[in-house]
Structure 1
Amino acid sequence: MERVLMKGNEIIGEAAIRSGCRLFFGYPITPSTEVIEYLSAKFPEVGGTVVQAEDEIGAINMCYGAACTGNRVMTASSSPGVSLKQEGLSYSAAAELPMVVVNVNRCGPGLGGLGPAQSDYFQSTKGGGHGDYRLIVLAPSKAQELYDYTMMAFDLADKYRNPVMVLTDGFLGQTMEPVLLKEKPESEEVDKSWIVNGAKGREKRIIASYSLTNEIGEENNKRWEAKYKNIEEQEQKWEEFQTEDAEYLLVSYGTTGRICKSTVLEARKKGIKLGLIRPITLWPFPKKAFVPYADKVKGIVTVELNTGQMIEDVELAVRCKPQTHLYRRQGGMLPTEFEILEFVETKFNLNENKEV
């Protein structure tokens, strides 16, 4: 193990290499470009291949083809580029192909700007492309998690035969922080009997998402639905920070999740019992995290870099029992811990020691 100073996007590339990924297909777009740059420099040393496709549509379909062979494959892009990949992601989910997709979220809509945002939450967690399907979505908040969760993404993709997204942002992707380059733990043995690698000496295998009859279509959809329910039950992940005696909760992920930790510490200095739930899996959303608090806390504030997207999942998780409010910044702007705390104090009249 070694501790090094690296840029966030480069950390993702290094984690992919150490996870056994040897195939990358992508197209440059700020602020994700360092992923393809890093792998272009490093992959030749380990026998890997990087292809800069003609566009994002070509890249995701190259991932589809490579994943059919059972090899670990990855692509990376940023918001408008990920939009172009949506049809291919729907096809890949339906064909049950393991792959890792990195979205270094930039602000939008449209071309937007290059600053950090969380405006792709709906796109990432609700499907994005056509049809009933899900991506597993992991949300790192610091350098070490960029490394660890990228490794986790490859294992989850193989375990469930499903695309997995690592949803980061322009701040995390461009920030340099120390990271411990740990050796990857042994992965679980996974079934590879489905892969397409030549049919000599065995029956041919076909990987497709097209249903020839409505009856087959319903049967397939029920099978996928059962898989997604299993993932929801098994893979909800989150972090709790000073929630044991919390009367109020912040809920935030990624970059704002790390800012909210400072908010909690500042609140505690003032005698405000504030805690934080930081979702790590955005899908499956960690509903279980909220069960102990739905009837306990007096209020919740979600902190997001959008007009309010994750707040819908939070309200569903707590069944709209505590007051739930949104504090947001947009357009690439990040909040400070003091802005967030002032919002909490104002919304719940904590300076007067009573609720609204």
Structure 2
Amino acid sequence: MGEKVLMKGNEAIGEAAIRANCKAFFGYPITPQTEVAAYMAKKMPKIGRTFIQAESEVSAINMVYGAAGTGVRCMTSSSSPGISLKAEGISYIAGAELPCVIVNIVRGGPGLGSIQPAQSDYFQATKGGAHGDFNMPVFAPASIQEMVDLIQDAFDVADMYRTPCMIMGDGMLGQMMEPVEFKEKQARELPEKTWAANGLGGRTEHNVINSLYLEPELLEDHNTHLQKKYAAIKATEVRYELFNCESDCDLILVAYGTTSRICKNVIKMAEKEGIKLGLVRPITLWPFPVEAFENTIDKTKHGYLSVEMSCGQMVEDVRLVASGRKPVDFYGRSGGMVPDPTDILNKVRDIVGGAK
């Protein structure tokens, strides 16, 4: 075991990115993720790496496009409205097949909303995030330690598949402090970046980074190529946790991020009343962990309860996977309100008919 350090979530993101060999960070301050940029502003120049506070979120994501095009590891971070401003650039990055990491520390919405934690960007993150036919892997950590670990994984997945990857945490994860350990991870074998626009390097022609295809046949071929890549990501990069699902359950909760931690407390509270609950915790929101539900659908008497800090977003994917085989209920809080374990348990009682 290495030494653990007490760190705020946003600062731990920055340190993890540096240790993952992030060479360039481009960002713009917005609560509740500003400490990511502040940490990188302090640390990156001291070790000979690039930090730029752009004049806007639009500029920041296009700087990421340029840096990623040269083959260096780079990232940006923002919070909900800032990610919306980056959306066009994210689509260009996906279309040009450029690896990068995008961090979204989600705040309440819609609009300017509030600086309180939320999970209401699920649709935006998992259903493409911008215009066109594309997806990007989305990792949803439930602790600062997991956030640190997933930063390395996100950079590796980005390089492996030439794709933007998102780390999506809520404002609570960004602002809270927990002990973290920066572990030495086994290096993943990654392909050489022979596509990068970084000089001739022995080639006879320069590489060109582009997402523009004027001929519809060529653009369709490109989309077909992207879809094959996304199918490969679905086959190999899905991650989830099953908690207390070893035996039959009265009901299985579905939650990610901070909400999943609350649900683990609900499971303990329900156990005292004789109610057996399990938990499916998606770690990748895209690809969605279909396998987790196939492995549990015969173990739940009353189906699933999706618990979210939103008005109901992930629940739609749970219903798609359940395909009518078991009921799917929803409990959510929004606008920065955090679900209370007692209120979740009351919802559970309503579904299962009280204590056994």
Q: Give the TM-score normalised by structure 2.
A: 0.97
Q: Which amino acid aligns with 1:254?
A: G
Q: Is the alpha carbon distance of 1:329 and 1:222 closer, same or farther for their aligned partners in structure 2, counting shifts above 3 Å?
A: same
Cα separation, 2, equivalents of 1:102 and 1:189: 22
Q: Which amino acid aligns with 2:312?
A: G
- Is the 1:294–1:319 contact (alpha carbons within 8 Å) kept by the matching residues of 2? no
Could you tell me which residue of structure 2 aligns to residue 59 of structure 1? 60
Match of 2:215 among 193, 205, 213: 213
Cα separation, 2, equivalents of 1:93 and 1:320: 34
Cα separation, 2, equivalents of 1:167 and 1:186: 23
Which deviates more, 75-84 or 227-236?
227-236
Cα separation, 2, equivalents of 1:321 and 1:189: 40
Q: Deviations over 1:224-272 (max 9, x none)?
A: 0111111111111100110112231000000101111111111122211
Q: SS of 2:117's equivalent?
A: coil
How far off is 1:348 after superposition?
Answer: 2.3
Could you tell me which residue of structure 1 aligns to residue 142 of structure 2? 141
Q: For the aligned residues, what is the CA RMSD? A: 1.1
Q: Deviations over 1:68-117 (max 9, x none)?
A: 11100000000000000000000000100000000000000000001000
Q: Is the alpha carbon distance of 1:52 and 1:247 closer, same or farther for their aligned partners in structure 2, counting shifts above 3 Å?
A: same
- Give matches, 1:315-326, under 5 Å: 315-326=319-330
Cα separation, 2, equivalents of 1:190 and 1:320: 42
Cα separation, 1, equivalents of 2:130 and 2:103: 16
Q: Which amino acid aligns with 1:168?
A: G
Could you tell me which residue of structure 2 aligns to residue 263 of structure 1? 266
Asked if residue 237 in structure 1 is aligned to residue 239 in structure 2, the reply is: yes
- Is the 1:295–1:321 contact (alpha carbons within 8 Å) kept by the matching residues of 2? no
Q: Give the TM-score normalised by structure 1.
A: 0.97
Q: Which amino acid aligns with 2:90?
A: L
Match of 1:226 among 221, 225, 228: 228
Q: Is the alpha carbon distance of 1:200 and 1:102 closer, same or farther for their aligned partners in structure 2, counting shifts above 3 Å?
A: closer
- Give matches, 1:1-356, under 5 Å: 1-199=2-200, 201-202=202-203, 203-245=205-247, 246-298=249-301, 299-351=303-355, 353=356
- Is the 2:245–2:299 contact (alpha carbons within 8 Å) kept by the matching residues of 1? no
* Unaligned residue ranges in structure 1 (runs of 5+): none
- Is the 1:2–1:182 contact (alpha carbons within 8 Å) kept by the matching residues of 2? no
Q: Which amino acid aligns with 1:268?
A: E
Q: Which amino acid aligns with 2:103?
A: V
Cα separation, 1, equivalents of 2:115 and 2:351: 31
Q: Which amino acid aligns with 2:212?
A: Y
Cα separation, 2, equivalents of 1:185 and 1:17: 16
Which deviates more, 39-48 or 194-203?
194-203
How far off is 1:205 after superposition?
Answer: 1.1
How far off is 1:27 after superposition?
Answer: 0.3
Q: Deviations over 1:280-330 (max 9, x none)?
A: 000000001000222331221000011100001111111122111110011
Cα separation, 2, equivalents of 1:235 and 1:333: 31
Which deviates more, 300-309 or 183-192?
183-192
Runs of 4+ residues deviating >6 angstroms: none
Cα separation, 2, equivalents of 1:158 and 1:199: 21
Which deviates more, 80-89 or 242-251?
242-251
* Unaligned residue ranges in structure 2 (runs of 5+): none
Cα separation, 2, equivalents of 1:244 and 1:223: 39
How far off is 1:201 after superposition?
Answer: 4.0
Q: How many pairs were matched up?
A: 352
How far off is 1:200 after superposition?
Answer: 5.8
How far off is 1:273 after superposition?
Answer: 1.2
Q: SS of 2:184's equivalent?
A: coil
Q: SS of 2:288's equivalent?
A: coil
Cα separation, 2, equivalents of 1:271 and 1:46: 56
Cα separation, 1, equivalents of 2:298 and 2:196: 48
- Is the 1:138–1:281 contact (alpha carbons within 8 Å) kept by the matching residues of 2? yes
- Is the 2:322–2:328 contact (alpha carbons within 8 Å) kept by the matching residues of 1? no
